[in-house]
Chains A and B, each alone.
Chain A
Amino acid sequence: MLLLTGLTLGALWAQDEAGGAKNPRRATIPPQTEKIDKAIEAGWSDAGIRPSPLEEELKWCRRVYLDVIGRIPSFDEMSVFMKDKSPDRKLNLVRKLLEDDQYTEEYANHWSTIWTNILIGRNGGMEERSLTSRQGMQKYLRDCFANNKPYNTMVHELVTATGASKPGAENFNGATNFLAMKVNDENGVQATAAVSKVFLGLQVQCTQCHNHPFNQWKQQKFWEFNAFFRQTRALRRYVKGTNDIDHIELINEDFAGEGSHPDKAEIYFALRNGVTKVAYPVFVDGTAIGKSGYVSEVNRRNELGNLMMESDFLDKTIVNRMWAHFLGYGFTKPIDDLGPHNPVVSIDLFESLAKDFRQNSYDLKQLIVWITLSKPYALSSKMTKDNESDDPSMGELPKFSHFYTRQMTAEQLYSSLAVATQANRKGNLEEQQRRREDWMRQFIVAFGTDEGDETTTFNGSIPQGLMMFNGELIRAAIALEPGTWLHQLSTGKGTPQEKVQFLFIAGLGRKPRPEELAVATQILVARKGEVGGMLQDMWWAILNSNEFIFNH
């Protein structure tokens, strides 16, 4: 990493602030982005609010790195961005992160992490006698994102997967891990709930037992959807000569039904008043498929996958998820509940973006370009008098009139430190990912249910505070031993002030303020002039600050 040459980065700012980037040629804006800007702007005037000013472009650059590849930009990367004087430098950066080979792995890792957590949870694969191979899930997802597999294809594969869960096993298919632990117990109730929620934005888990007053789904529909999963089993394959599970094989087998007519394989469920009803596979839109339980006649999961491909819930759910990823809130709250009982922000824009996404072959990278170049994504997170009321954390529907400040995820923190300090970068990406997962485990707290529900203490509470103060990761990030990044900085050329400036730019993407430089000077006195110690203290403070840990 270039060190002291970067100390002249300040000069780049001066130029930028003087309007260096304001080239008379207009920036290229995709039509979908224009559509976003127009619709969101209309929402502002309807609500009688005004947007915050645009954020400084270097801060925007930090956002894009965090959201697109899961970490803050390095000093060098910031310099390169600032040196691009084209009116399209924002587009250029997003394209580079999405298309340049040097970022393929990081992009794929970032999104596979996000999707692993969505599909099997943060703890998936780490349960006692787990049927899930976390590595298998990640490998499948990494391949999807590295190859920019169309989203609909990925969903179809996840819903219909058969094969072995673990990499290296014969007939390996990592996509099987999504359903591996959701089909054997309770007649596949969990597969039913997860597939409908994650991919269709339909919350059906309550309707398993009763008709829900606020949900258009009835109990009948739940079991009709459940019927699609009744041919599916996860077969345990053991480590030779032991009772330990090596992996599972997800298969489709003939389903005899709960009566005795495999050619009309029905299931039964009980209403709360005790009346027993019957259900066959019927999709949410009312489309019924053949009733046969024989896989050779009707492969129920394949039928389901095909029906899902036609559903506009598929398009809306992913657009909502991606929007919320970049803008902090979705068009609905929560993002995976698109039922008619739930209010939608900018519904025309939402539906139109969903159509555009389908028409553009479910290309996630295009969707990312549309959103990241949009005006709401470029706004400052500083609220003004004219938009303070736009605060979704207080229960308001989001208007996107300023960027919503949010904390980095634990994964983003880990990767950001790796890039800012070069720590934890030993080994290949898979080893790095495993180390990160080991580190992540300290934050996971499970609830005692069969469904493996869990939460994280990396949520801004005290355990996170203690980790940031004293944890191993931070100790490594501020280590001063020869060979470390901080050692290099402290022994290199430049004045102590320039070095502090470097720290602020590397961590926060801005120069230090006078009062911050003053603190550094006083700490240098307290360290008896030892620059390394002072840099250590300042770097510790920067990493622990809100400005570092929040995406803003």
Chain B
Amino acid sequence: MWNRFTTPNGMSRRHFMSHMAGASAMLGTSLSLGHSLRVHADTLKKNQKSCILLWMGGGPSTMDIWDLKPGTDNGGPFKAISTSGDVQISEHMPLMAQQMHNMAIVRSMSTREADHNRGRYYMHTGYVPDANVDYPSYGAVMAHELITQRPDLEIPPFVAVGGASEGPGFLGMSWAPFNVTSNGRVRNLEMSVDSDRLNQRRIALETIENSFISQNRGGVLEDHRKVLGKTFDLLTSKQMEAFQVDKEPTEVKERYGTNGFGQGCLLARRLVEAGVVFVEVDLGGWDNHQNIFRTLENDRLPVLDKAMAALTSDLQERGLLEDTCIVWMGEFSRTPRINGDAGRDHWARAWSVVVGGGGIKGGQAIGATNEDGTEVVGEPYSSEDVMASVCHALGISLETTFTSRNGRPMKIANSGKLIKGLFA
């Protein structure tokens, strides 16, 4: 039902076979794989917008991090501390406390999906799972809309670090996340043949591939061809250096934290500098049905605090924060009531996400929860609203529509509305 090609920005780039009309022209012409030689350093454009999603798999307890209720039955043992912004956060986030002037906490999230898979899908797409339509996730949508800002980008515009993210849905596999581990290692990059021979193989492959596509056996085959093209691009690209997070000085690596998430956040900064549109960095382990406070204090929060603070301050120092939106969220949060195992269960009714950069007014909390943290006070916000606000921060028009095959227009971010007060 979806027409994949009707967005304002279009999407045709590098149909790697289109410039090779026939096999007869192939040898000797030595196809240029050399467009990769252009170096990225000075291609960073003023208007080039990016987004980094810090995805907290499992559903973090936001009332122990961003919206504390000390002294109440549900509050738990953590204290609130003051920050560089006009908000208080958990005492176990001391480094982020110094960065809060850059970040806004939306404390009035209220959603309905409290199952991991459904919640993950909903928070990534703005849609609840639907057996008949496969919706694209943040990364695919943003990459699709912003790719024309970076004509020289040869590496994938959507990278998922240390986690799976969600797929490209009806936009097709060529917009899928490029999954790498947090050390930036990309498997199977080493070619066994030189580029001339690779070209010859490519032409043989193209010849087989094209005749099969022309047989009208389904759209997945066209996607296969596009992905092959992107794979060829990346094989020979100098921009792949952005993945070599190892090349960073030890001091920097340590500032982010020498763990998967820390290095992943550092990698995210490098990728954004190289022109990648959307980077998702995953930190799991928030599904704390048991012993939540010990786990948060000793394990999850120190890791999060260090990496997120280093990323935020680095982006600011490099002048990238204006054009880079940071989003922190999980699939939902956890029950305000503490259960019998000193844990908290799933809770989607009242919780927080954190956003900053990209022109978002930092240092503030938007909305609030009631005294015991169970309900939102005032206007509730949804996944759609967060997505719409992030689109706005990246300069993507909320009037952007995707058109279904039967002509039904669908607004970007499922018609979400801007969260009031996020933008000055």
Residues from chain A with Cβ under 8 Å of B192 in the complex:
470, 475
Across the interface, do A448 and B217 meet the contact criterion of CB distance under 8 Å? Answer: no
Name the residue among B22, B24, B220, B223 with the largest chain A CB count within 10 angstroms. Answer: B220
**Also in contact, A446 and B216, with CB within 8 A (given A395-B133, A546-B224):** no
Name the residue among B117, B207, B289 with the largest chain A CB count within 10 angstroms. Answer: B207
Pick the contact of A446: B164, B196, B201, B217 (CB < 8 A): B164
Across the interface, do A447 and B178 meet the contact criterion of CB distance under 8 Å? Answer: no
Across the interface, do B225 and A546 meet the contact criterion of CB distance under 8 Å? Answer: yes
As a 0/1 sequence over residues 199 to 216 of chain A, the CB contacts with chain B under 8 angstroms (1 = contact) are 000000110011000000
Pick the contact of A541: B1, B201, B221 (CB < 8 A): B201
Across the interface, do A450 and B287 meet the contact criterion of CB distance under 8 Å? Answer: yes
Across the interface, do A383 and B178 meet the contact criterion of CB distance under 8 Å? Answer: no
A170 within 8 A of B: no
Across the interface, do A186 and B23 meet the contact criterion of CB distance under 8 Å? Answer: no
Min C-beta distance of B30 to chain A, whole Å: 11
Name the residue among B228, B230, B283 with the largest chain A CB count within 10 angstroms. Answer: B228
Across the interface, do B27 and A442 meet the contact criterion of CB distance under 8 Å? Answer: no
Residues from chain B with Cβ under 8 Å of A465 in the complex:
227-228, 230-231
A453 within 8 A of B: yes
Across the interface, do A448 and B286 meet the contact criterion of CB distance under 8 Å? Answer: yes
Across the interface, do B218 and A404 meet the contact criterion of CB distance under 8 Å? Answer: yes
Interface size on B, residues (CB 8 A): 78
Across the interface, do B57 and A393 meet the contact criterion of CB distance under 8 Å? Answer: no
How distant is the Cα of A538 from the Cα of B197 in the complex, in angstroms?
Answer: 11
B12 within 8 A of A: no
Across the interface, do B217 and A542 meet the contact criterion of CB distance under 8 Å? Answer: no
A334 within 8 A of B: yes
Min C-beta distance of A11 to chain B, whole Å: 24
B41 within 8 A of A: no
**Also in contact, A442 and B224, with CB within 8 A (given A537-B200, A541-B204):** no
As a 0/1 sequence over residues 302 to 339 of chain B, the CB contacts with chain A under 8 angstroms (1 = contact) are 00000000000000000000000000000000000000
Across the interface, do B223 and A469 meet the contact criterion of CB distance under 8 Å? Answer: no
Interface-facing stretch out of A98-106, A359-367, A518-526: A518-526
Pick the contact of B23: A394, A442, A518 (CB < 8 A): A518
Residues from chain A with Cβ under 8 Å of B225 in the complex:
546
How distant is the Cα of A502 from the Cα of B212 in the complex, in angstroms?
Answer: 19
| Chain B residue nearest in CB terms to A523 | B200
As a 0/1 sequence over residues 150 to 166 of chain B, the CB contacts with chain A under 8 angstroms (1 = contact) are 00000010001001100
**Also in contact, A549 and B224, with CB within 8 A (given A206-B115, A383-B218, A442-B187):** yes
Across the interface, do B58 and A461 meet the contact criterion of CB distance under 8 Å? Answer: no
A2 within 8 A of B: no
Residues from chain A with Cβ under 8 Å of B196 in the complex:
526
| Chain A residue nearest in CB terms to B60 | A448
Residues from chain B with Cβ under 8 Å of A449 in the complex:
57-59, 116, 284, 287
How distant is the Cα of A467 from the Cα of B216 in the complex, in angstroms?
Answer: 27
Across the interface, do A448 and B284 meet the contact criterion of CB distance under 8 Å? Answer: yes
B18 within 8 A of A: no
Residues from chain B with Cβ under 8 Å of A525 in the complex:
27
How distant is the Cα of A55 from the Cα of B221 in the complex, in angstroms?
Answer: 18
B301 within 8 A of A: no
A451 within 8 A of B: yes
As a 0/1 sequence over residues 193 to 226 of chain B, the CB contacts with chain A under 8 angstroms (1 = contact) are 0001100110111011101110111111101110
A544 within 8 A of B: yes
**Also in contact, A469 and B235, with CB within 8 A (given A396-B1, A442-B187, A537-B201):** yes
Residues from chain B with Cβ under 8 Å of A550 in the complex:
217, 220-221, 224
Pick the contact of B209: A342, A445, A466, A546 (CB < 8 A): A546
Across the interface, do B208 and A545 meet the contact criterion of CB distance under 8 Å? Answer: yes
How distant is the Cα of A344 from the Cα of B57 in the complex, in angstroms?
Answer: 34
Residues from chain A with Cβ under 8 Å of B286 in the complex:
448
B2 within 8 A of A: yes
Residues from chain B with Cβ under 8 Å of A404 in the complex:
218
**Also in contact, A463 and B179, with CB within 8 A (given A382-B215, A453-B117, A537-B201):** yes
Across the interface, do A515 and B211 meet the contact criterion of CB distance under 8 Å? Answer: yes
B173 within 8 A of A: yes
Residues from chain A with Cβ under 8 Å of B205 in the complex:
540-541, 544-545
Min C-beta distance of A551 to chain B, whole Å: 11
Pick the contact of A519: B26, B177, B235, B284 (CB < 8 A): B26
Min C-beta distance of A19 to chain B, whole Å: 23
Across the interface, do A333 and B131 meet the contact criterion of CB distance under 8 Å? Answer: yes
Pick the contact of B218: A337, A384, A393, A508 (CB < 8 A): A393
A53 within 8 A of B: no
Across the interface, do A381 and B284 meet the contact criterion of CB distance under 8 Å? Answer: no
Across the interface, do A461 and B221 meet the contact criterion of CB distance under 8 Å? Answer: no
How distant is the Cα of A262 from the Cα of B95 in the complex, in angstroms?
Answer: 52
Interface residues of A in 136-164 (CB under 8 A from B): none
Residues from chain A with Cβ under 8 Å of B208 in the complex:
508, 516, 541-542, 545-547
Across the interface, do A460 and B200 meet the contact criterion of CB distance under 8 Å? Answer: no
A471 within 8 A of B: yes
B96 within 8 A of A: no
How distant is the Cα of A98 from the Cα of B286 in the complex, in angstroms?
Answer: 46
A459 within 8 A of B: yes
How distant is the Cα of A384 from the Cα of B205 in the complex, in angstroms?
Answer: 26
B37 within 8 A of A: no
A312 within 8 A of B: no
B282 within 8 A of A: yes
| Chain A residue nearest in CB terms to B227 | A465
Residues from chain B with Cβ under 8 Å of A395 in the complex:
1-2, 132-133
Residues of A within 8 A of B (CB): 185-186, 205-206, 209-210, 332-334, 337, 342, 381-384, 388, 391, 393-396, 404-407, 442, 445-451, 453-455, 457, 459-467, 469-471, 475, 508, 513, 515-516, 518-520, 522-523, 525-526, 537-538, 540-542, 544-547, 549-550, 552
4 tightest CB-CB pairs across the interface, nearest first? A448-B284, A448-B57, A465-B231, A541-B204
Q: Can you list 19 pairs linking A and B with CB atoms under 8 Å apart?
A: A205-B115, A206-B114, A404-B218, A447-B116, A447-B163, A450-B287, A451-B116, A453-B116, A453-B117, A461-B177, A462-B227, A466-B189, A469-B191, A470-B192, A471-B188, A526-B197, A541-B205, A549-B224, A550-B224
Beyond contacts A447-B58, A519-B26: 14 other A-B pairs, Cβ-Cβ < 8 A, are A382-B217, A383-B218, A384-B216, A394-B170, A447-B164, A449-B284, A451-B287, A461-B179, A466-B187, A467-B187, A516-B204, A522-B23, A545-B205, A547-B212
